[in-house]
Structure 1
Amino acid sequence: MALIHYHLQDLLSPWQGIGPSPSQRLVKRLFDLGLALPLLALLLPVILMTAWAARLDTGASGFFLQERIGRRGRPFRVIKIRTMRPVEGTTVTTLGDPRITRLGGWLRRSKLDELPQLFNVLAGHMSFVGPRPDVPGFADALDDEERVILSVRPGITGPATLKYRDEETLLAEAEDPERFNREVIFPDKVRLNRDYVLHWSFTRDLVYLWRTAFPRPRV
């Protein structure tokens, strides 16, 4: 995926000045740091305990690192609690995927597997709110107007993450999960994320965080 990074400055140049302003980006970053530090101090024992349990459960490292594409197309390694057995396969995960362990399924439903991403926030790889970082390959599919998504830090949550919080169920119901993800879910996520960047506001970030922490029950 070196191709993405090599051409990215040229690809993003038409979008300079669109989205959050420099001062807004600073406020967003300070907010991330101000929230991530106390949360990490509070939740570090939980992170270590779940990582230890995941190690026993999967027979591999309790922490799972995977390359994702971040701001300006720079690759980074997202940190999560391991929920799957270390078996090679597709990057598309469906509900009932045999690679997911019983403990891993509970961790995914409770979102505890996402907690180590607080380290990514502190490191500046991610923000609390933003477009979800994709694995290498998907950024290549973005057209010129869509690449504005890569001008901001990816997020732990955001509008697309909230809309597709039951993504694994949708994929499990699809006849061809990989094709459904590529042709239906991914384009809709791109649309939502592009709108997020173009109409960013700190108030909207707070709303997305609130909806993540206190999700509305499904009817």
Structure 2
Amino acid sequence: MVGLLTVAFICRNMCKVDSKGPALFRQKRMGYRGNIYEVYKFRTMKLSATVGDEKEEAITKAADARITRLGQVLRKSRIDELPQAINILRGEMNWIGPRPEALVVSKWYEAELPFYRYRHTDRPGITGWAQVNQGHVAAVDDVLEKLHYDFYYIKNFLDVLIVFRAVRTMLTGFGAP
């Protein structure tokens, strides 16, 4: 626990050095049973002018220019996800489950993909079957594949296997944008 708090303290201070703005990023996400909640992460992107519409701003692309130098390290190691322990303690998330999407993106996927809303039958997680197998995706076709992974997880409850693959992901940086 002391190690986690030390990492959190270092990240909080480093986020402020790398770019202006608060150390924590907060974003509305679609959660369990469609309930909306606010997710917490270490900020890994510059606070800048809008990129386009709200949906485009919520989607991180590969080699996104908004990602800070420290943000690249935090994302690759997944340390930026550490503040989501707050969401777990509040009962909004689990360690493992379908990864929650930004509210605007979730609504877009629900309109584009049949049955997308059924992924909210399980509490969202910091990591999940789609993340350890597929990595970061944003295009609708890729999200459809992600949806299949999420449903497979919900049906088969793969938490132990996901823990091992999540550790591998953190060590190798697989799937970081």
What TM-score, normalized to structure 2?
0.82
Within the alignment, does 1:129 sit opposite 2:96 as a pair?
A: yes
Aligned residues: 163
Change (3 A) 1:125 1:83: same
The letter for the 2-side match of 1:91 is A
Identity within the alignment, % = 31
Q: What SS class does the counterpart of residue 100 from structure 1 fall into?
A: coil
Within the alignment, does 1:205 sit opposite 2:159 as a pair?
A: yes
Q: In structure 1, what is the Cα distance between the partners aligned to 2:101 and 2:88?
A: 16
Within the alignment, does 1:195 sit opposite 2:149 as a pair?
A: no
Q: Could you tell me which residue of structure 1 aligns to residue 30 of structure 2?
A: 69
Q: In structure 2, what is the Cα distance between the partners aligned to 1:129 and 1:158?
A: 5
> Could you say which structure has the larger radius of gyration?
1
The 5 Å alignment of 1:2-151 reads 39=1, 41-87=2-48, 88-89=50-51, 90-140=57-107, 141-142=109-110, 145-151=115-121
Q: For structure 1, which runs of at least 5 residues remain unmatched after alignment?
A: 1-38, 172-180
Q: For structure 2, which runs of at least 5 residues remain unmatched after alignment?
A: 52-56
Q: In structure 1, what is the Cα distance between the partners aligned to 2:33 and 2:94?
A: 14
CA shift for structure 1 position 182: 3.2
Cα contact 1:148–1:197 (8 A) shared by 2: no
The letter for the 2-side match of 1:130 is G
The letter for the 1-side match of 2:126 is I
Q: Could you tell me which residue of structure 1 aligns to residue 54 of structure 2?
A: none
CA shift for structure 1 position 146: 3.9
